[in-house]
Chain A
Amino acid sequence: MDYIFAVARIRYKEMSLLTSQFLERLIACETYKECLSLLNEKGWTEAESNKDINALLQAQRDQTWAYIAELVDDTSKFDVFKYANDFHNLKAAIKLACTNVEVENVFNYHSSISPDVIYQAVKQQDYSLLPEYMASAAQKAYDELSINKDGQMCDVIIDKAALEAILKAGGEADDEVIAFYAETTVACADIKIAARCAKMSKPASFITQALAECNTLNIAELSSAATKSFDDVCAYLSTTIYSEAANALRSSFSEFECWCDNYIIERIREQKYNSDTLGPIVAYMIAKENEIKVVKIILSGKLNELKTESIRERLRQMYV
């Protein structure tokens, strides 16, 4: 199957993605209201009536998913982007079930499994309602929270299952951009976990439980480095393809997160010249999510009256 029609449409859609020059103009705005007005001019029409950041960004996500559904017959190819929401919903469902409270708006949209199904499965302890990659982790995480009252371990189990599901989906995808995205997402998450564990002097058993296997990192070596020190984690990274990440990690975690996003964007840019595979559509999806993240950083900065320079430090590279 080719995606010639869909890619031709994506080329047009790429023109509405925000550029670095536009972001500079957005940062230069004096107030949050001015930012909304500028975004409205750029086609974020909901910015005019929507003053809430989350609602505004959610509207952008809704539009992107609706557009992808229009272009691709089988949206299950994009499940790799939904797993983070699935496992977030699982965490929320377990916490709701264990605390026996009703809280609204805790679930994320755009998931591969309905949040209601996840909640029912956890509430009724019927994990057969969940897909295989989630069922076992759901049960373990629920037991950890309900019996041992260990919220951190509950999160660790779910986060690891999410990373494993993403990596598996990437491996099974017949698209190199999805595979690259999945691998990099898991590797970056592992690096962050290892660095945090090293800084907090977590025991080896905890680190091993938290790290998920991936192809570009040797988890045994990373885990061993994390049990020693933060410098050992950086030293190990310098021997891998993520050697540049070590410098960013030494600066701060937010700089490392910025490096991860830039690393992905830099490597998917070649999809702008690919005309007949799923790659450019996946790349657009990643670029749009990156754009939403950047707009959130700027708008939050403006709302909290952060200095322009400190907002600029957090900016990511743009796809176009």
Chain B
Amino acid sequence: MFVENLGIVLALTGAVLSALLAGIGSAIGVSRAGKAAAGVCTDQPEQFAKVLILQLLPGTQGIYGLLVAFIALSRIGLLGGGEIAALTISEGILYLLACLPMAFVGYFSAVAQGNTSVASMAIVVKQPTQAGKAMIFPAMVETYAILALLISILVVNAI
């Protein structure tokens, strides 16, 4: 029974990891940036809008992870109430591997982006007029999360 369903189990594991790891990474990143944002707003409440954007930047990985999980679940028939596809073990492994870029890159890039956002808060504090530049630094980290999202979606759709 277990071996028969191993394909779907592996595919589901991939979808779960994508949402789980990217979500955890985003939670950590947003939390760290949030603490710094709270520190900035304690003395400079007028900077709220600028630091809010910096805080939100690491939150996108969680959304990307969720998106990949949705697509994978939809492809294997676990969404929409339709019939669940009968997946072979090989197909299950393919789905699992397809979700891993988003899972791992999502986690690490969200944490790294959170740290970069925290560092960028110092620019907002000391040079409020340069806030635009401050946002570019954490945004650069986003590139790698987008690349991982792209490859995960392409591979999931190619299976």
- Are B121 and A15 neighbours in the complex by a CB distance under 8 Å? no
* Contact partner, A11, options B37, B115, B125, Cβ 8 Å: B125
* Contact partner, B38, options A8, A13, A275, Cβ 8 Å: A8
- A4 at interface, CB cutoff 8 A: yes
* Contact partner, A15, options B38, B118, B119, B125, Cβ 8 Å: B125
- Are A4 and B125 neighbours in the complex by a CB distance under 8 Å? no
Chain B proximity of A177: nearest CB distance (Å): 17
- Are A11 and B126 neighbours in the complex by a CB distance under 8 Å? yes
Of B10-18, B40-48, B61-69, B132-140, the one touching chain A: B40-48
- Are A275 and B119 neighbours in the complex by a CB distance under 8 Å? yes
- Are A5 and B36 neighbours in the complex by a CB distance under 8 Å? yes
Chain B proximity of A297: nearest CB distance (Å): 27
Q: Say whether, besides A15-B125, A275-B119, A275-B122, A4 and B43 are in contact (CB < 8 Å).
A: no
Bound-state CA distance A6–B36 (Å) is 8
**Residue from A4, A8, A13, A14 whose CB has the most chain B CB atoms within 10 Å:** A8
- Interface residues of B, CB < 8 Å — how many? 17
- Are B36 and A275 neighbours in the complex by a CB distance under 8 Å? yes
Q: Say whether, besides A11-B122, A275-B119, A4 and B40 are in contact (CB < 8 Å).
A: no
- Are B38 and A5 neighbours in the complex by a CB distance under 8 Å? yes
Bound-state CA distance A17–B40 (Å) is 17
Interface size range of chain A in the complex: 10 to 19
- B31's nearest neighbour on chain A, judged by CB, is A4
- B125: chain A residues within 8 A (beta carbon): 8, 11-12, 15
- A144 at interface, CB cutoff 8 A: no
- A276 at interface, CB cutoff 8 A: yes
Bound-state CA distance A48–B42 (Å) is 27
Chain A proximity of B117: nearest CB distance (Å): 10
- B121: chain A residues within 8 A (beta carbon): 8, 11, 275
- A104 at interface, CB cutoff 8 A: no
- B123's nearest neighbour on chain A, judged by CB, is A11
- A140 at interface, CB cutoff 8 A: no
- B42: chain A residues within 8 A (beta carbon): 8-9
Q: 28 A-B pairs, CB-CB below 8 angstroms?
A: A2-B35, A4-B32, A4-B35, A4-B36, A4-B118, A5-B36, A5-B38, A5-B39, A6-B39, A7-B39, A8-B35, A8-B37, A8-B38, A8-B39, A8-B42, A8-B118, A8-B121, A9-B42, A11-B39, A11-B122, A11-B125, A12-B40, A12-B125, A13-B43, A273-B119, A275-B36, A275-B122, A276-B115
Binding site for B on A (CB under 8 A): 2, 4-9, 11-15, 273, 275-276
The 6 A-B pairs with the shortest beta carbon distances in the complex, nearest first, are A8-B39, A4-B35, A5-B39, A12-B43, A8-B36, A11-B125
